[in-house]
Structure 1
Amino acid sequence: MSRVLPRVGALLAAVALLFTSWSVATDRRAEALEPFTGYLMAHFIGEQATGEQIYLAHSRDGLHWTDLNNGAPVLLSTVGTRGVRDPALVRSPAGDRYWIIATDLRIANGTSWSDAANNGSRSLVVWESADLVNWSAPRLLDVAGAIPGAGDAWAPEAIHDPATGDYVVYWATNATLNGVKKHRIYYTRTKDFRTTTAPVLYIDRAGTQGIIDTQIVESPTSVGGYRYYRASGDGQITVEGANSVLGAWTRIGDLSHLGITGSQVEGPMWMRFNGRDQWALWLDQYSSGRGYMPVLSTNLGSTRNFQTTTDYNLGGTRKRHGSILNLTSAEEGRVLGKWGATTPVNRIQSYNFQDRYVRHADFDVRIDPNVSPVQDSQFRVVPGLVGSGTVSIQSTNYPGYYLRHYNYDFVLAADDGTATFKADATFRQVAGLASSSWSSFQSYNHPDRYIRHYSYLLRLDPITDAAGRADATFRLTG
């Protein structure tokens, strides 16, 4: 025994050293994520048919943004309510795993805010990726089901907790506690965004004051005196500081001295500027419908350091409650390679009625002269929603809406994420049937049929004669 014990001790010491080395390596891999070169914003745009889905925007300076994917959604929820709001981007410390978590809510389907708050989904929608561009199918994660009387699970966020090596997921739930029904912030822990611990009350304001839309940012050098800062919508936009994610939080102040209150803005969204200790706190101006505005600070330890600015631009779509991820050069390259190219805007001109162009009108599709507004006749011919070497035809003034056939008639419709929609909205662009210098569009799922006009309405028909060939021939113009 006297010879065995030293060997066991040596083995245990080696195992301990291995785990210590792994932990240090993980921290070093996290440090290796820097330097950051750009920014990625995940957001939704509103309550229209495709507005409550995942949209992305990119910025090089953190203030001036460009819509990705031509302003169309990049991910669609096909689970739960089939709509998502308030997306949060989460990166693992090692930079080898990413998640998007979002509120499972779709107001566009006719749900009232009262029903959504009192009888809504208690799950979050989760996507997962290894590279930030190829995402899993969405899945539901029940986080609030164990909260007695829970009416919803809104505005989720997540942050890695270095003290425990897992993630703290936190969100707002409307429930009755101590005789008061209101939104409070709860949290749970997870390592994989698949299984979670039981929900725990995290933030509860006094009396009947509810709280929602909390987001935490880390200050690695503890500028202002704290390691972490959080901003919350609780009647004001309240800023607090702490030195651990689940530690004691100290109220620092609010933004009322800037004329900014919770009755005007919501969805506080933190962003640390790359390469310097300066932050932007983006606020969604929901009451005026103007989307996000930034307030800037170099010291989060006092809200008196926050300043408004007019030097920003949010691109073509209205940005609603989301989150911002600082990007490394490699991440930025992948994101822009996938969604950064801007497809030209075209009009689709008829071959045999050259004063007429394809346009949508009340979501029906036809060819007309003198289209007004002209945006109704502007489209982007983008890579097909299904099948290599194919195209889909996306509206410019209704991002996420495509020309699709339905019972061989054409409509402009929102991508609903189904395989049927994708096939109906996909075509092969081939040499024009009436002139090889023009184009015709062959159906992907009915290859014996082509897009053609008939009595000026667009149809999907077999083409059997010269008149049909002329009707099925078009030209893309600038």
Structure 2
Amino acid sequence: MSRALTRTGALLMLVCLAFTSLTVTTRREAAALEPFTGYLMAHFTGESANGEQIYLAHSRDGLNWSDLNSGGPVLLSTVGTRGVRDPALVRSPAGDRYWIVATDLRIASGTSWNDAANRGSTSLVVWESTDLVNWSAPRLVNVAAGIPGAGNAWAPEAIYNPATGDYVVYWATNSARNGVTKHRIWYARTSDFRSFTAPQLYIERPGSQGIIDTQLVEVPNSVGGYRYYRASADGHITIEASNSVLGSWTTLGNLSHLGISNGTGGGNVVEGPMWAQFNGRNEWALWLDQYATGRGYLPVTSTNLGATGNFQHRSGYSMGGNRKRHGSILNLTAAEESRVLGRWGASTPVNRLQSYNYQDRYVRHANLDVRIDPNVSPAQDAQFRLVPGLANSSGYLSFESVNYPGYYLRHYGYDFVLAANDGSATFAADATFRRVAGLADSGWSSFQSYNFPDRYLRHYGYLLRLDPITDAQGRSDATFRVTS
């Protein structure tokens, strides 16, 4: 073959590769830019026993919210302090990956605010998903470890930065710097929410004034004159603007004209600013948590973020049954909205599994082991939601724990445990069952394994196992009543 032909072939190959790459990139970007149809809010509810966990709410219009998952938590932290606050929802530019990043803090455990701020966790809690409904187990990332004297890592947020092709994760840390101990905003960069660069100072206010609860929003077409806007709690709710995430920022003002502050200006004292653009129009809501009065979130809105005087109070909103504390809002495509509502929108009944041959005993988890016991306490240890099967949603089901959402009954070495869904195909198969007529009584139910169809869920010595059933004793042990 001649050199000319070789060069021509190589050129054609490069053109094909470039076209393929462009097509894939365009397709991914197009998928991420589908019209938005709804809104998803991640939040916590307060310092109750389960309040410092991940809750979700949904809205069609961006003003009126409904609690998802029957008002219960969607994800529980089992790492660090075993509590989370201030969750941030993050979507990749391609719309094919999502993260929740949250503060590792549980005041309900008896931790004082002084200890939490000065001797608290310097880690953030991260969950990861490819579809917004199936989430990884939580993991800790110690983002503030490199800050001398760091006392905490609070109120994290993250935004994709096209200038660097990765994500800027930013949060507040209380530490001494130049002889002054206060909260400042720090940032680190990451491409995978696993490995992070060393922390860098992002925002510092003059003198002794601290700053916390910063949240950025990117504005299409630079409405108001800037591409990015950020709101922070620093005594006021201060609004700043910039044309780059890590560039210089211009202070636009605050919300004192609305009688709103973060304490310094008095009036309605709020925190936790939370941005959301209304779908299909150039109008933005800035939600503010009225923590000082316990009245929950209120929205102020603007059609031009370039001047703080454009913000006005907004009426005609409702927040649902749960109290919403500091969180974030994600605009949803139709496909995302369908998945979220399909998973958590319906009110899934809470059930128990009653043993056929020991009718005073119910299936329950205890220290993540699974057995049958009488008089289960707390009662939620014996309560499950029968949800569509993780491995096959057609004719199969999985058992999701009520008090450990995201944890499922699964077999492991033919023994049963309660475990967090790790997103793997093996986990999904191990946690999926077909409900069939009871082997000992057709009026009851038995549960056939998805990946070992010759085996059934049964108790043996009061412990749950996955066994082949060959005799009358086994049939009785493998029969249960699904009851409320």
Structure 1, residues 366-398: CA drift from partner, whole Å, max 9, x if none?
A: 9xxxxxxxxx9xx99732899976878969xxx
SS of the aligned residue for 1:30 comes to helix
Q: Does 1:30 align with 2:29?
A: yes
Identify unmatched segments of 5+ residues in structure 2. Answer: 264-268, 352-373, 391-395, 406-417, 422-433, 446-456, 463-479
Partner of 2:211: 211
Partner of 1:300: 305
| Alignment check: 8 A CA contact 2:287 2:298 kept | yes
Identity %: 67
Partner of 1:81: 81
Partner of 1:281: 286
Q: Does 1:323 align with 2:328?
A: yes
Partner of 1:41: 41
Partner of 1:175: 175
Q: How does 1:148-227 map to 2 (within 5 A)?
A: 148-227=148-227
Q: How does 1:73-472 map to 2 (within 5 A)?
A: 73-263=73-263, 264-343=269-348, 382-383=385-386
| Alignment check: 8 A CA contact 2:137 2:420 kept | no
Structure 2 residue identity aligned to 1:382:
R
Q: Does 1:55 align with 2:55?
A: yes
Structure 2: how far apart are the matches of 1:342 and 1:251?
A: 45
| Alignment check: 8 A CA contact 2:388 2:397 kept | no
Structure 1: how far apart are the matches of 2:130 and 2:482?
A: 41
Structure 2 residue identity aligned to 1:299:
N
Structure 1, residues 79-138: CA drift from partner, whole Å, max 9, x if none?
A: 111110000000000001111000011111110001000011111000011111111111
Identify unmatched segments of 5+ residues in structure 1. Answer: 347-364, 367-375, 401-414, 419-427, 450-471
Aligned residues: 404
Q: What stretches of structure 1 move > 4 A for 4+ residues in a row?
A: 10-25, 384-395, 415-418, 428-432, 435-439, 444-449, 472-476
TM-score normalized with structure 1 length: 0.73
Structure 1: how far apart are the matches of 2:52 and 2:443?
A: 40
Structure 1: how far apart are the matches of 2:44 and 2:330?
A: 15
Structure 1: how far apart are the matches of 2:323 and 2:244?
A: 34
Structure 1 residue identity aligned to 2:113:
W
SS of the aligned residue for 1:93 comes to coil
Structure 2: how far apart are the matches of 1:430 and 1:14?
A: 55
SS of the aligned residue for 1:221 comes to helix
Q: 1:97 to 1:393 in 2, by over 3 A?
A: closer
Structure 2: how far apart are the matches of 1:475 and 1:20?
A: 57
Q: 1:385 to 1:30 in 2, by over 3 A?
A: closer
Residue 231 of structure 1 and its aligned partner are, at CA, apart by 0.2
TM-score normalized with structure 2 length: 0.72
Q: 1:288 to 1:430 in 2, by over 3 A?
A: farther
Structure 1, residues 149-202: CA drift from partner, whole Å, max 9, x if none?
A: 010000000000011110000000001111100000001100000001111000
Q: 1:474 to 1:223 in 2, by over 3 A?
A: closer
Residue 31 of structure 1 and its aligned partner are, at CA, apart by 4.2
Structure 1 residue identity aligned to 2:219:
S
| Alignment check: 8 A CA contact 2:44 2:54 kept | yes
Structure 2 residue identity aligned to 1:194:
R
Structure 1, residues 424-467: CA drift from partner, whole Å, max 9, x if none?
A: xxxx99999xx99999xxxx886888xxxxxxxxxxxxxxxxxx
Q: 1:94 to 1:182 in 2, by over 3 A?
A: same
Q: 1:13 to 1:149 in 2, by over 3 A?
A: farther
Residue 24 of structure 1 and its aligned partner are, at CA, apart by 8.3
Q: 1:26 to 1:113 in 2, by over 3 A?
A: farther
| Alignment check: 8 A CA contact 2:255 2:308 kept | yes
SS of the aligned residue for 1:337 comes to helix
Partner of 2:473: none
- Cα RMSD over matched residues? 4.3
Q: 1:16 to 1:261 in 2, by over 3 A?
A: farther
Residue 34 of structure 1 and its aligned partner are, at CA, apart by 2.1
| Alignment check: 8 A CA contact 1:390 1:429 kept | no
